[in-house]
Structure 1
Amino acid sequence: MTSYFDVTLVLLSFNMSSKQSWDNLPDIAIIEVYSYLPDNDRLSMSLACKNWRRLFETPVLWRCRKVIFKGLVADEIARHEITFLRLFGRQLHKLSIGFTGLSFRTCRDLALAADTYLSHLMKRTDVHLDSISFEELNLERFWPFVLSRNKLITALCRLLRKQRTLKTINMISTRLTLIEGCRVLEALGRYSAGTTVEIIFLENVFRTSVIPYENIRYVNALNRFQAIRFLHINYKYLREDILRNLAKTLESKFEQLNIIIEGRLVGEVISSKAWKALHGKCPNLRIGIYIYTTALENDPLPTLVDGMKIQACYIFSWSDLSSRKEELGKILRHVGGTYASSLGTWDASGVLAMALGDNKLQQLVEEFQEIRATELVKSFRKTTIKQLQTKLELDLTVLKKTRNGFEVSV
């Protein structure tokens, strides 16, 4: 695939003041320039000459579309996007939908505009989407108006039921109620998408207070998917019978399970036996865990049992960790000790390095040097990195200066 820098080199090789140079500019360079422009600028550029007009219709330029409905102009945006579908709908593969400017005054207009657009999209037989993404809708926080929200969910469900080529669905941070979330999952799983969807992002798809696995409707909806390769989901949305059903349905097709551990952990802990059974049925499965430091308020260690074959561990924080040093050290030591034989990537982020200090993290790196590729040393001082390199005989192939220190690839 041609990179931005490849095209830049081509452009720099031409004398831009020469008409002949512009005439001989490769199509791929013009297409790359088009790809960085908004619709209006693309249209203006297409009026320059017949060749640029021809390249304006290159299918790759119209594969992805981000539709953001904005407050008082939502209806105008819907009409604009419907026109886009008439012109380039057959080239559209990836669709992203979002909303801004939501208030009591605009919520009805936003819902009506979205319904108009989605209804038109649903009726078009020349549009074959393989990816749908919702731009962090967070309906719990931004859309408390029940009637208009219900209209939006109904329109989304109608669209999803009609999808026959969908491969990816991204619902991160949509924050739906239990009923809304089950409706959306059923709209996917009960119909054609249930046999085609391979990649699902369900992180924070429900409101913070919802414990979905207690509802049989949610369990049944999740069990309808037959082709999942990649699942990104909160730990609190899982339980043992869900894992058993996924293993029974997916078997060797199931390749990646990303688990989010954050906030208040409630409900049952999935046993080591259940994880071992999952790995037995799904031999190709790789597990990654994402631990947010909000989980430190409740001890997350009981969820990290030895039956999980974790290949990647990521730890994130957006707050001061000075009061959490003991808990962080305990988690890092537990993860490193329990999963040293399988762990391939360990990213503790620079924030943790600053919270624990070089000495503490250096001890951990020395203790768990079996890890094949670690970013645990991110933000170490250069002298500390050199000490590790000498002591552990590490092959530090990349040493890049970052804002907080040094980033190392092993």
Structure 2
Amino acid sequence: MDIENIHIEAEVCSSESGNRILQVDRKVISSHEGASSSALYKMFDDDDETEDYFEPIPQWECLPHFIITDIANYLSDVHRISMALVCRSWFVCVMKAPRIWRDKTITLTGEKYDQNHLRYVRSVGRYLHSFHVFSHIRSYYNRYQVRRFQRILTTILAELYRKGPVQLKEVSFVDFFIHRHMRFDRDQVCRKGVLRSLRRFLRVQYRLESADLTGICIKFEEAIQLLSCLPTSSGKTLSNLYIHQLLQTHEEGYTQMSFVEAIGRFENLSVLHIDYNCISDDLLVTLSEHKRGILQEIVIKCRREDTHNHVVEEESWRKLHKSMPLLTVEMVCREIVRFSALKPILVSSMQLTSLEILGHDNSDNFQPDRLLRHIAKAFPMSLERLVVDVNQVRRTMSHGFLAIIMNCINIDYLEIHGRILVEYLQEMFDHFQVVVNKDRLAPGPMHFRYIGYGLDHIDGFAETAVMFEDYQNLVTQHNCTYEFLMDPYLATAWL
């Protein structure tokens, strides 16, 4: 129907019954033959031919389906269910719309509330593309909670298995900590049941692109069996693999060739998150040969509880970077602060782009200046991000801090927790000003965050705060962020 040259004047008037009616005066309407204006308006004809009346009748059940699904897409699961109970039409639109049920994250606690997650999977589990399961068992000693956790998880995976099975693109089983949660399990019934369900479920997933097994914490033999299920089904599609803390404490994955073979079976691996106790020369050689040009990112976590005394040869790292020029390597060292322990790990051929050193120095073993000089010497061209957060440090930073500022030319973010002498901070700002005036470029890190603590250094912090304030305009002009903060306890004592 074509309607042209329409001029409509409308005013609101009240009928005798008190209802609001819209009065329409149609001046000029021209249309094709057979076109009826009743398709647009519901008319109520009067004796006067020039006046037509209509009353809009809202019919929410006739709202277009795509609008209903768009609204439901912004709601939580509880509000979606409430929306679906409005009427039959909305129920069909909400509950039968696959795109609003693609992603689900659940937390299993071993409580009765976990039954709600099972009902969710039974209702809309067939639409899932991303499924993330976290564990938060409150009491490790309560065998009933552990048993309920195992039953609910097994039943959920069985439901997904029966529905096709459901083919996921992303799956996560995070923070199970099986070695701790199920250590009081008699005859290891729950442990075996959970691992058996995980293996059976992963074995039938043929479209996985990302698998997160962080924090499962199982024995080496069990980890190999679990990892072997992934390349069997999704070896050609899986690109992201997260296996931090897959092995329980004190397991030595770097000594086992079976682990290297399991990782080598993934054909399109581009992102790998792994622990340092699984890094070996054989693994790096295998990655350089089988993942030539594919692997883009390796994130390594090194914890004090795990084995970290082994040394990876520099030649192995060199071969890996030669076969993958765009590879970025990031490392997080947690509770390892002794320089003699960090130096064999931080070899120059790693070409680190990001480094975080976190922990506590209770025995005065941390040598921040010596460590920073080593980092500046080992990674002058590759380092882009550095965080040093070691509490209770009694030693100050001086030449090592300046070495990072002046030698690491590509560093973008620098965060230091500790004490930096005021004269070296002044040298940093002087260097900043000289390079800016010379090259018209911002030197050093674009983002610098300095968190100071230590009551014996409180006068120096007052001078530092004034210095940062004086150079704030210069730093801001070049789109840089230099921030000085004080430890909350120290700030309270100062005030």
Normalising by the smaller structure, the TM-score range is 0.7 to 0.9
Q: What residue in structure 1 maps to residue 79 of structure 2?
A: 41
Q: What residue in structure 2 maps to residue 64 of structure 1?
A: 103
Aligned length: 377
**AA in 1 matched with 2:177:** N
Q: What residue in structure 1 maps to residue 143 of structure 2?
A: 104
Q: What residue in structure 1 maps to residue 332 of structure 2?
A: 290
Which residue, 186, 190, 208 being the options, matches 2:228? 186
Instruction: Evaluate the alpha carbon distance shift between residue 329 and residue 89 of structure 1 in structure 2; reply closer, same or farther with a 3 A threshold.
Output: farther
Which residue, 139, 143, 156 being the options, matches 2:182? 143
CA contact (8 A) 2:475 2:482 kept: no
Q: In 2, Cα distance between the equivalents of 1:76 and 1:174?
A: 22
Q: In 2, Cα distance between the equivalents of 1:382 and 1:65?
A: 46
Q: What residue in structure 1 maps to residue 263 of structure 2?
A: 222
CA contact (8 A) 1:362 1:388 kept: no
Q: In 2, Cα distance between the equivalents of 1:158 and 1:268?
A: 35
Cα deviation, 1:114-161, whole Å, max 9, x if unaligned, reads: 222212212322622111111311112112122210111010000111
Structure-1-length-normalised TM-score: 0.79
Q: What residue in structure 2 maps to residue 92 of structure 1?
A: 129
Deviation of 1:387 after TM superposition, in Å, equals: 7.2
* Structure (1 or 2) with the greater strand fraction: 2
Instruction: Evaluate the alpha carbon distance shift between residue 108 and residue 31 of structure 1 in structure 2; reply closer, same or farther with a 3 A threshold.
Output: closer
CA contact (8 A) 1:388 1:394 kept: no
CA contact (8 A) 1:174 1:205 kept: yes
Which residue, 478, 487, 491 being the options, matches 1:395? 478
Instruction: Evaluate the alpha carbon distance shift between residue 301 and residue 80 of structure 1 in structure 2; reply closer, same or farther with a 3 A threshold.
Output: same
* Structure (1 or 2) with the greater helix fraction: 1
SS of corresponding position for 1:107 = helix
**AA in 1 matched with 2:169:** D
The 5 Å alignment of 1:233-248 reads: 233-248=274-289
Instruction: Evaluate the alpha carbon distance shift between residue 82 and residue 46 of structure 1 in structure 2; reply closer, same or farther with a 3 A threshold.
Output: closer
Q: What residue in structure 2 maps to residue 169 of structure 1?
A: 211
SS of corresponding position for 2:149 = helix
Cα deviation, 1:169-227, whole Å, max 9, x if unaligned, reads: 111221111121111111112x1212211111111111111112323332322221111
CA contact (8 A) 2:154 2:197 kept: yes
CA contact (8 A) 1:325 1:356 kept: no
Q: What residue in structure 2 maps to residue 3 of structure 1?
A: none
Instruction: Evaluate the alpha carbon distance shift between residue 262 and residue 246 of structure 1 in structure 2; reply closer, same or farther with a 3 A threshold.
Output: same
CA contact (8 A) 1:291 1:314 kept: yes
CA contact (8 A) 1:272 1:307 kept: yes
Instruction: Evaluate the alpha carbon distance shift between residue 336 and residue 196 of structure 1 in structure 2; reply closer, same or farther with a 3 A threshold.
Output: same
Q: In 1, Cα distance between the equivalents of 2:398 and 2:337?
A: 25
**AA in 2 matched with 1:92:** H
2:266 matched to 1:195? no
Deviation of 1:76 after TM superposition, in Å, equals: 2.8
The 5 Å alignment of 1:294-309 reads: 294=336, 296=338, 299-309=341-351
Unaligned runs of 5+ in 2: 1-57, 416-447, 452-463, 489-495
Deviation of 1:42 after TM superposition, in Å, equals: 2.4
Return 370-379 or 232-241, whichever deviates more.
Answer: 370-379
Q: What residue in structure 1 maps to residue 431 of structure 2?
A: none
Q: In 1, Cα distance between the equivalents of 2:78 and 2:114?
A: 19
2:334 matched to 1:332? no
Q: What residue in structure 1 maps to residue 355 of structure 2?
A: 313
Q: In 2, Cα distance between the equivalents of 1:355 and 1:394?
A: 35
Q: In 2, Cα distance between the equivalents of 1:116 and 1:165?
A: 22
Cα deviation, 1:284-331, whole Å, max 9, x if unaligned, reads: 2111111213353861211211211111112223x4x47547433332
Q: What residue in structure 2 maps to residue 408 of structure 1?
A: none
SS of corresponding position for 1:291 = strand
2:156 matched to 1:113? no
Q: In 2, Cα distance between the equivalents of 1:225 and 1:78?
A: 32
Instruction: Evaluate the alpha carbon distance shift between residue 137 and residue 126 of structure 1 in structure 2; reply closer, same or farther with a 3 A threshold.
Output: closer
Cα deviation, 1:333-388, whole Å, max 9, x if unaligned, reads: 21122101111122335x66987667677535444351330223313555454677
Identity %: 18
The 5 Å alignment of 1:348-367 reads: 348-349=388-389, 363-367=402-406
Which residue, 341, 346, 349 being the options, matches 2:386? 346
Structure-2-length-normalised TM-score: 0.66
Unaligned runs of 5+ in 1: 1-19, 406-410
Q: In 1, Cα distance between the equivalents of 2:108 and 2:158?
A: 15
Q: Aligned-pair RMSD on alpha carbons?
A: 3.6
Q: In 1, Cα distance between the equivalents of 2:368 and 2:135?
A: 36
SS of corresponding position for 1:313 = strand
Bigger CA radius of gyration: 2
Q: In 1, Cα distance between the equivalents of 2:414 and 2:477?
A: 13
Instruction: Evaluate the alpha carbon distance shift between residue 324 and residue 72 of structure 1 in structure 2; reply closer, same or farther with a 3 A threshold.
Output: same
**AA in 1 matched with 2:137:** T
Q: What residue in structure 1 maps to residue 48 of structure 2?
A: none
